[in-house]
């Protein structure tokens, strides 16, 4: 009688060789997969791996953001090689008119939520990226000895304000009306930088501007603080424009404005956290 054969322990030589060859081939493939990371279509895609999509972006921004956004734009371009950010600064009401007229742009940042809300059909969902407060700007050394809002009512004082349709003009009216202070300005300007310029050039004795604007001209103007209880808070919302030809890149820039890197730049310029 033939001895019993335990088939469980018999190894087919051909099968064994095939198994060894397959294992040898799979090992280097697995190693390559570890080095290369997720395959195409997995994870968050190429944008996450290489930074924001490359594009030439045009951003419409409130005049009071002129200096800080130039600095922020330079940082953003350095962080995202191949991307260029061009800013167009003006009063928020002027920017709104440009958007309505179909001006080619990718993102918008205004100095108030009212203007942005009026463009809800033209923008993505806005995000407030910073806040600001007003001060009284006077000539260097404060030659007219302005100390408070009440002093602006002195008819001998040449006071300049922003026009009522401009965000800083509305904030100014809000502050003065709340204190029942009647001011007759010698002119009403189209944006906050124009108000600051009038005071800087000595064409006006005083004007209401954002704290951050006064900080850009410390060699020409002094800033008289307005107590918080009598002040107004300006909010700066940012949003993409629906007509943008670079929607993904525009969204990346708007999102970046809320990152620690961008917020550090804004704080350094005197803007308050959102």
Cα distance between residue 91 and residue 116, in whole Å: 12
pLDDT at 152: 98
pLDDT at 62: 97
Residue 201's closest CA among 171, 165, 158, 152? 158
46 versus 1: which is more confidently predicted?
A: 1
Specify whether the CB–CB gap between 111 and 232 falls below 8 A: no
Kindly report, residue by residue over 195-253, the tens digit of the pLDDT: 999 999 999 999 999 999 999 999 999 999 999 999 999 999 999 999 999 999 999 99
Q: Which pLDDT belongs to residue 120?
A: 96
> Is the Cβ–Cβ distance between 81 and 52 less than 8 Å?
no
Angle at 215 between CA 187 and CA 190, to 5 degrees: 25
What the chain holds in terms of domains, given with CATH numbers, is 51-131+234-268 (3.40.190.10), 133-233 (3.40.190.10)
Select the more confidently predicted residue: 18 or 237. 237
Mean pLDDT of 5-29: 39
Confidence of residue 172 (pLDDT cuts 50, 70, 90): very high
> How much is the pTM?
0.80
User: Is there a contact between 108 and 119 (Cβ–Cβ < 8 Å)?
Assistant: yes
What are 43-52's pLDDT values in tens digits? 333 333 346 7
- For residues 115 and 128, the answer to whether their CB atoms sit within 8 Å is no
- Write out the DSSP string of the chain: -PPP--GGG---HHHHHHHHHHHHHHHHHHHHHHHH-SPTTSTT-HHHHH-SPP-EEEEEEEGGGHHHHHHHHHHHHHHSTT-EEEEEEE-HHHHHHHHHTT---SEEE-SSHHHHHTTTTTB---EEEEEEEEEEEEETT-TT---SGGGGG-TTS-EEEE-TTSHHHHHHHHHHHHTT-----SEEESSHHHHHHHHHTTS-SEEEEEHHHHGGGTTTEEEEE--GGG--EEEEEEEEBTT-S-HHHHHHHHHHTTSHHHHHHHHHTTPBP-
Q: 179 pLDDT exceeds 60?
A: yes
């Amino acid at each position: 009688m033939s001895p019993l054969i335990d088939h469980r322990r018999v190894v087919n030589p051909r099968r064994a060789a095939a198994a060894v060859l397959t294992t040898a081939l799979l090992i280097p493939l697995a190693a390559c997969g570890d080095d290369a990371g997720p395959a195409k279509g997995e994870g968050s895609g190429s944008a996450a791996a290489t930074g924001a999509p490359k594009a030439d972006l045009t951003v419409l921004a409130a005049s009071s953001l002129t200096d800080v956004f130039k600095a922020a734009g330079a940082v953003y371009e350095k962080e995202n090689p191949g991307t260029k950010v061009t800013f167009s600064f003006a009063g928020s009401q002027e920017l709104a008119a440009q958007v309505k007229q179909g001006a080619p742009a990718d993102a918008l940042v205004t100095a108030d939520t009212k203007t942005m809300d009026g463009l809800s059909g033209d923008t993505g969902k806005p995000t407030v990226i910073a806040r600001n407060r007003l001060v009284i700007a006077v000539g260097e050394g404060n030659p007219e000895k302005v100390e408070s809002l009440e002093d602006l009512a002195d008819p001998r004082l040449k006071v300049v304000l922003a026009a009522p349709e401009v965000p800083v003009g509305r904030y100014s009216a809000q502050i003065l009306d709340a204190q029942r202070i009647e001011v007759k300005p010698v002119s009403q300007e189209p944006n906050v930088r124009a108000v600051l310029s009038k005071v800087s050039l000595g064409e006006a004795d005083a004007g209401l501007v954002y704290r951050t604007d006064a900080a850009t001209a410390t060699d020409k103007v002094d800033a008289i603080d307005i107590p918080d209880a009598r002040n107004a808070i300006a909010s700066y919302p940012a949003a993409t424009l629906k007509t943008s030809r670079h929607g993904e890149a525009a969204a990346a820039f708007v999102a970046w404005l809320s990152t620690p890197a961008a917020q550090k730049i804004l704080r350094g310029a005197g803007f308050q956290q959102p």
